[in-house]
Chains A and B, each alone.
Chain A
């Protein structure tokens, strides 16, 4: 047995400069940031206030940061792919095939698991306790652990850039290609351990959120008074709990095949590779809705707020959400209509799939009718929401087309399919996240994002979106299969070049986003939100200060009245303005359990990839030690005294009073 398992100096790609340079740059940046943090003396603050934090708001922000950084990484992959295909007409392009295969695999993996998932989970984490009037989520330490396990997965994917290779088997590693026989390097192993570890993190978060929403709501917050975002987050969390264990089981089976010579999905020994595809999509289809449902919730909040009206058809919206939650679990087979299940099965799944469009249609009509007759303000979050309605309807219709088995026989595995799911996931999830980030940014940091740059980012994204995905639809109709490293059909060429221009428009949009963030931070004083309610919002999170204190609400919001949003907010502000009696608040103490668990999970995952068994065993033993150490703690909460609560709340109220005074002054002078 070798001390370092399969790991050797050959694992570092000395002879392929591109990943080496990229890796070196990333490592240099990381070292530079770490050095700056340490030298400027920020480390104690970071450690105390962020890394060991169990505050749902901090964890939500860290999730969103992780998601945004990883989305940049995944977007770099997209630029590489679109450029390659634009150049690769009767030519090899600039990416060798095995590198191209790694890029499309890592693009899909990163965008779904480490981009979209952390972003939606981050929003849910940040918003739900505020909207439902709680101090924190049900299990704050588990929350932190879930985040650090997700970060572990992201880290492992990034390590594969420099040490070894990433999977070449697509974003879902279909056997037999992903079996040891056909993928003998460590690429698939990186995929497996990154997802097994981050999948546990996601599951923990799902359990936490379900418990939080069902059991922790403020007094008076009945189910049919919950803001729409909480409903969609509940549906999404239920799907996480029901679907992610299937992913874990499936990937564990594949790992057993690869590591111990099991025969679940092999071509030899009686293994059944179709079973993998059934299992992975039994998770994979709900996953799409895990991502998009919270985005639907964001749009519901944003459209209602910026139309100045309650959400139209609230109860039908709730029903539609739960309908999607259930139906999305029952349609997985439409992902492999062409694999010989037979006409009857295909028809059943085709019809079930189309039913989702009906339920989603209910939501679209409700959003449109919410805007009807409202006082619409075209702020950035609202632009993303309207852009979403338009683009998502196109994506939904192409989805209905794909749900028809005969059409699917022609279009599956073509770029039409790629265009369809990007259309729905970008138009749905990414627009939703951007809308949500712009909407709740002032709540998190106490100042608004710069509007001009946000609007520019929106229009460039929309233009890039059309310029990339309309050509991809065309390419699909012209018969171009997905994942081609090069081709020699002349009619495909102009469309691939158009798509490349589109991806550069996306890049401009991204730069606008970054500039927006920098400009907003520099001008934060003029963008300051002193009221805690910058948008004239309709739910409980706007009743507290921006950013909220660690305990969220100084006085207990008592939710009364039938009208869910406006009333709640009005009354919540009222109760704060009545001189409430302040009481001591006990909050969970920050602790390093999550971070330390994540650290040992990284060690274990890396050791398993390279088959360094002693290190893996050591990592697991250390994880158990952390568990015992955490279980042994004596004090899990700390008390914030009534005087401190009073001080914080009075400061907030003074800021708001000042702001009101300034407002009336400007009104008088103008």
Chain B
């Protein structure tokens, strides 16, 4: 996805401008400021790293509180491996369709880009529905986040990931509308960023799947 090319704006070269559009510069001092694509993607990576730090704090809290069930249900009483497997499959598939959208963007194909983005969004929505169903079931059976510190950390960590997916869907919808109205030019860099974001959510889900569900099942 990193091969999406910069839009040519046809401005006079100002090698020194806030966002360059040429692809030559490295940003390492010898050749001046980096191109917009490099700067935007780099900045977004830094944001994603900071987001991962925030997730780490919630992971740490969950690790500390994993056994603090306060006499209430533990992971093995609550988790449904089948649903978690389906959720994982759906999310991994959405990462794939997201990658397809980047390929389609490179080919400048509106139809395929929109179709791949739509598939990504629908799969994300299915994932969220499954998660909401799981949460609703747990709360209905008296295993809500107020029941114990273990459940507090579970709902917070998994819910935080779910919230990220939800925000991603809002972002995706906005970009699809923009793509429809205005075409590629104004949002190419945002499509790169969305790809990064979506893949990182997938990676975090793999960690949740392992640390929360697999290890939780075993306890």
A216 engages B64 (CB within 8 Å): no
As a 0/1 sequence over residues 41 to 82 of chain B, the CB contacts with chain A under 8 angstroms (1 = contact) are 011001101110110111011001100111000000000000
Identify the closest chain A residue to B185 (Cβ): A634
As a 0/1 sequence over residues 454 to 490 of chain A, the CB contacts with chain B under 8 angstroms (1 = contact) are 0000000000000000000000000000000000000
Cβ of A269 < 8 Å from any Cβ of B? yes
B57 engages A203 (CB within 8 Å): no
Cβ contacts under 8 Å, A270 to chain B: 65, 68-70, 148-150
Knowing A215-B38, A249-B57, A586-B17 are in contact, say whether A244-B149 is a contact too (CB < 8 A): no
B46 engages A210 (CB within 8 Å): yes
Cβ contacts under 8 Å, A272 to chain B: 64-65, 68, 149
Distance of A558 from chain B, by nearest CB (Å): 9
B38 engages A263 (CB within 8 Å): no
Q: Choose among B42, B49, B146 the residue that contacts A214 (Cβ–Cβ < 8 A).
A: B42
As a 0/1 sequence over residues 218 to 244 of chain A, the CB contacts with chain B under 8 angstroms (1 = contact) are 111111010000000000000001111
A-B contacts, 8 of them at CB < 8 A, read A216-B39, A243-B53, A245-B50, A246-B54, A272-B64, A279-B57, A586-B17, A637-B18
Given A249-B54, A256-B156, 13 additional A-B pairs, CB 8 A: A225-B29, A241-B49, A245-B54, A252-B156, A256-B152, A257-B152, A260-B146, A262-B156, A263-B149, A264-B61, A269-B152, A583-B14, A631-B174
Q: Choose among B14, B27, B174 the residue that contacts A216 (Cβ–Cβ < 8 A).
A: B27
Across the A-B interface, give the 4 residue pairs with the lowest CB-CB distance, nearest first. Answer: A270-B68, A249-B57, A245-B54, A270-B149
Q: Choose among B16, B53, B65 the residue that contacts A134 (Cβ–Cβ < 8 A).
A: B16
Identify the closest chain B residue to A222 (Cβ): B29
Complex formed: what's the CA distance from A270 to B151 in Å?
10
Distance of B150 from chain A, by nearest CB (Å): 7
Cβ of B170 < 8 Å from any Cβ of A? yes
Cβ contacts under 8 Å, A266 to chain B: 149
Cβ contacts under 8 Å, A136 to chain B: 18
A138 engages B16 (CB within 8 Å): no
B16 engages A246 (CB within 8 Å): no
A269 engages B16 (CB within 8 Å): no
Cβ contacts under 8 Å, B148 to chain A: 263, 269-270
Cβ of A250 < 8 Å from any Cβ of B? yes
Q: Choose among A215, A279, A628 the residue that contacts B174 (Cβ–Cβ < 8 A).
A: A628
Cβ of A164 < 8 Å from any Cβ of B? no
Cβ of B210 < 8 Å from any Cβ of A? no
Interface centre among A219, A263, A627 (most CB of B within 10 A): A263
Distance of A234 from chain B, by nearest CB (Å): 12
Identify the closest chain B residue to A633 (Cβ): B186
Cβ of A139 < 8 Å from any Cβ of B? yes
Knowing A269-B147, A272-B149 are in contact, say whether A245-B53 is a contact too (CB < 8 A): yes
Cβ of B15 < 8 Å from any Cβ of A? yes
Cβ contacts under 8 Å, B38 to chain A: 215
B14 engages A203 (CB within 8 Å): no
B186 engages A634 (CB within 8 Å): yes
Cβ of B32 < 8 Å from any Cβ of A? yes
Complex formed: what's the CA distance from A437 to B38 in Å?
33
Distance of A348 from chain B, by nearest CB (Å): 19
Complex formed: what's the CA distance from A261 to B178 in Å?
40
Knowing A222-B30, A241-B49, A245-B57 are in contact, say whether A264-B65 is a contact too (CB < 8 A): yes
Distance of A370 from chain B, by nearest CB (Å): 24
Interface size class of B (residues with CB under 8 A): 35 or more
Cβ of B123 < 8 Å from any Cβ of A? no
Distance of A448 from chain B, by nearest CB (Å): 29
Cβ contacts under 8 Å, A628 to chain B: 174
Knowing A208-B43, A216-B39, A632-B178 are in contact, say whether A135-B152 is a contact too (CB < 8 A): no
Q: Choose among A208, A263, A588 the residue that contacts B152 (Cβ–Cβ < 8 A).
A: A263
Cβ of A46 < 8 Å from any Cβ of B? no
Cβ of B33 < 8 Å from any Cβ of A? yes
Chain A contacts with B in 259-306, Cβ cutoff 8 A:
260-264, 266, 268-272, 275, 279, 282
A250 engages B57 (CB within 8 Å): yes
B18 engages A140 (CB within 8 Å): yes
Identify the closest chain B residue to A248 (Cβ): B54
Identify the closest chain B residue to A240 (Cβ): B50
Q: Choose among B12, B16, B27, B61 the residue that contacts A584 (Cβ–Cβ < 8 A).
A: B12
Cβ contacts under 8 Å, B150 to chain A: 270
Q: Choose among B29, B43, B54 the residue that contacts A220 (Cβ–Cβ < 8 A).
A: B29
Chain B contacts with A in 22-44, Cβ cutoff 8 A:
27-34, 38-39, 42-43
Cβ of B168 < 8 Å from any Cβ of A? no
Complex formed: what's the CA distance from A588 to B17 in Å?
10
Complex formed: what's the CA distance from A220 to B26 in Å?
11
A215 engages B54 (CB within 8 Å): no
A585 engages B156 (CB within 8 Å): no
Cβ contacts under 8 Å, B28 to chain A: 222
A203 engages B11 (CB within 8 Å): no
Distance of B171 from chain A, by nearest CB (Å): 9
Cβ contacts under 8 Å, A220 to chain B: 29-30, 32
Cβ of B153 < 8 Å from any Cβ of A? yes
Complex formed: what's the CA distance from A117 to B217 in Å?
44
Chain B contacts with A in 167-219, Cβ cutoff 8 A:
170, 174, 178, 186-187, 190
Distance of A484 from chain B, by nearest CB (Å): 33
Distance of B108 from chain A, by nearest CB (Å): 20
Identify the closest chain B residue to A257 (Cβ): B152
Distance of B33 from chain A, by nearest CB (Å): 5
Interface centre among A211, A266, A553, A587 (most CB of B within 10 A): A211
Knowing A245-B54, A253-B156, A263-B70 are in contact, say whether A135-B174 is a contact too (CB < 8 A): no
Complex formed: what's the CA distance from A496 to B92 in Å?
64
Interface centre among B33, B39, B51, B186 (most CB of A within 10 A): B33
B42 engages A211 (CB within 8 Å): yes
Cβ of A207 < 8 Å from any Cβ of B? yes
Complex formed: what's the CA distance from A377 to B33 in Å?
36
Cβ of A133 < 8 Å from any Cβ of B? yes
Distance of A60 from chain B, by nearest CB (Å): 16
As a 0/1 sequence over residues 582 to 611 of chain A, the CB contacts with chain B under 8 angstroms (1 = contact) are 011111100000000000000000000000
